[in-house]
Amino acid sequence: MSRLVLLVVSLAPLAARADYMDHFVVREDVGVHKAPYLGNAEVLLMPVEVAGFPPLDLDRLYAFFAADNPQGFVKFMETASLGRYHPHVNIGPVIRYTGCPLDTTKFPGCVVARGDFAAFAAGINLIREVVRRTNEEAVGFDFGALDVNGRRGTPDGWVDGVMLLTNMPFGGIAFPVGYFNRGDNLAGATGGPLIVDGVKVGHVAIAGDGDLYTMVHEFSHLLGLTDLYAENRTYPGLQLSVMGAWGYDPNIPLHDAESRFRLRWGNWHQVQGKQKVVIAPAEGTGEVWRLGTGDEYFLVENRGPGQFDRSFTTRGLAVYHVDRRVKLAGEEGRFQDRILDCVNCDAFHPYIMNVQADEKFELQQPQAKFSYEDDLFRDGAFLGADPSGVPLSADHPVASTNWYSGQPSGIEIGQIRVSDDGAITATLIAPSEGQCGEKLCDEGEACAPLTCESPGESSAGCQCGAGQGPLVLGALLLLLLEQRLRRRQQRVFRA
Ligand SMILES: [Zn+2]
């Protein structure tokens, strides 16, 4: 495929398809719809204190967003991203209100319920006012300093990320102010993103009740992720994820394997054929093992207690069944549909399902609680085909690697052994060909699988160096040639 055609293919969705919180259905819209999620970022936190509610604990707030807090916001993002994303949090002056800054006829008691669409209009006015006052009251601070990153890792005219933490009972929301604003843009014009000191503010993560942990979740929306808990409460939704059914407690879970894979925060291993593998802990190595291609596939990762994930009582493989055809869409404004009808709302066919080792589907129940001992895949656990071919449902709750259509996938996960050092060995089986050609993006880290072929055929272990004689050089050249050929064959895949 020629360079020109490639360019057209990768830019085509830009005009028609781009949205907030789409789990990277589109990945070209950093700036307008997403905050940069790789590299250094200068982000702003605006504390907002309203009289009549418990005051913000500023010491705690400063500590939580400090770069060196081992369990704080920055270390969490750095750990989850394998150091590929470094936010630096600038904390603005406390913006104080003597009374409720919202229309109390619409919001009695100044309480904003989560998912209240009336909050959108009220939210815009509040955000505009807080941004304007921050710019005014932060003497000597230039909003231009908040744009050091963008889609290409360089300043792009958009701030790298803005958070608003208030002591009001606001719940949490990641608010696309640029999409909804029909009023003043703070730069003498009307509508669209706010513009301060020449840079644009397109969206703001908001957390109420002074809740620092909610902010970790809301900020992850700015990076491009959608909600993975079940808003309809028929069951809790995805477990083991900062975007899922997490109680916003101090034990922050990592992002799930699919979210890290899409953020390019993982180290992606694609399985082809039968492979006996050693899977290292996700925290520290970012390993994500993918079985299957296209929109529907299985992901496997090694999770257990660490610096984060401290709710885990044991270590094991977390297995996910992913189907990106479920309610994900990249058309502008469709994020509202996902708030009303969430991608993980269907317990038996969500976007991302926790496959449970005990095969009991207890996580599909309304009051479900994740059992680390029973639900993680540990010694002796196995997942394979359901020969009946009947699609998974509440009436046919049979754990398997079958596709949602009921068709067997040929995928198997077994011979699992958890070692004392935290590594987990397993035998993974995927189709024996055609698995290695997909890419997330054209260039850069984690765009392509780190490994695909079984170890016997792989060059991953090659310690080839210069100056080791013509034989090594010749092999190296062949390898380069092979990689170039392979790259040509690879399709740009956009799920
Ligand atoms: Zn959310």
Residue with tokens 């390898």: 479
Asked if the structure places residue 231 within a domain, the reply is no
Distance 221 CA to ligand 1 centre (A): 7
Helix (H, G, I), strand (E, B) or coil at 467: coil
Listed residues 203, 222, 241: the one ending a domain: 222
Helix (H, G, I), strand (E, B) or coil at 495: coil
Length of the chain: 495
Asked if the structure places residue 485 within a domain, the reply is no
Residue pair 195/187 in contact by the 8 Å Cβ criterion: yes
Distance 217 CA to ligand 1 centre (A): 6
Distance 415 CA to ligand 1 centre (A): 36
Asked if the structure places residue 280 within a domain, the reply is yes
Residue pair 220/193 in contact by the 8 Å Cβ criterion: no
Low-confidence ranges of the chain (pLDDT < 70): 1-17, 114-117, 454-495
Q: Tell me how many domains the chain contains.
A: 2
The DSSP string of 126-147 is HHHHHHHHHHHHSTT--GGGG-
Q: Give me the pLDDT at residue 437, please.
A: 95
Residue pair 258/352 in contact by the 8 Å Cβ criterion: yes
DSSP alpha helix (H) spans, 183-304: 212-222, 257-262, 282-285
Asked if the structure places residue 30 within a domain, the reply is no
Encode burial over 156-184: b for 16+ CB neighbours within 10 A, e otherwise. bebbbbbbbbbbbebbbbbbbbbbbbeeb
Distance 229 CA to ligand 1 centre (A): 8
Q: Based on the domain organization, do 274 and 344 belong to the same domain?
A: yes
Asked if the structure places residue 78 within a domain, the reply is yes
Asked if the structure places residue 137 within a domain, the reply is yes
Q: Based on the domain organization, do 207 and 261 belong to the same domain?
A: no
Distance 261 CA to ligand 1 centre (A): 19
- Cα 52 to Cα 434: distance, rounded to the nearest angstrom: 62
Q: Give me the pLDDT at residue 454, please.
A: 60
Q: Give me the pLDDT at residue 321, please.
A: 98
- Cα 63 to Cα 280: distance, rounded to the nearest angstrom: 31
Residues near ligand 1 ion, CB 5 Å cutoff: 227
Q: Based on the domain organization, do 203 and 279 belong to the same domain?
A: no
Q: Based on the domain organization, do 215 and 67 belong to the same domain?
A: yes
Q: Degrees (nearest 5) of the Cα angle 447, 449, 453? A: 160
pLDDT in tens, 367-409: 999 999 999 999 999 999 999 999 999 999 999 999 999 999 9
Q: Give me the pLDDT at residue 495, please.
A: 29
Q: Based on the domain organization, do 434 and 339 belong to the same domain?
A: yes
**HEC readout, 166-180:** ECCCCCEEEECHHHH
Q: Which of 282, 338, 266 is nearest to 20 (CA)?
A: 338
Q: Give me the pLDDT at residue 167, please.
A: 97
CB atoms within 10 A of CB 276: 11
Q: Based on the domain organization, do 217 and 265 belong to the same domain?
A: no
Q: Give me the pLDDT at residue 16, please.
A: 45
Asked if the structure places residue 493 within a domain, the reply is no
- Cα 432 to Cα 494: distance, rounded to the nearest angstrom: 22
Q: Give me the pLDDT at residue 114, please.
A: 64
Distance 114 CA to ligand 1 centre (A): 9
Distance 252 CA to ligand 1 centre (A): 14
CB atoms within 10 A of CB 238: 26
Q: Based on the domain organization, do 304 and 441 belong to the same domain?
A: yes
Q: Give me the pLDDT at residue 330, please.
A: 76
Query: Which residue segment(s) compose the domain that 101 sits in?
Result: 35-222
DSSP alpha helix (H) spans, 57-117: 58-64, 73-80
Listed residues 222, 246, 279: the one ending a domain: 222
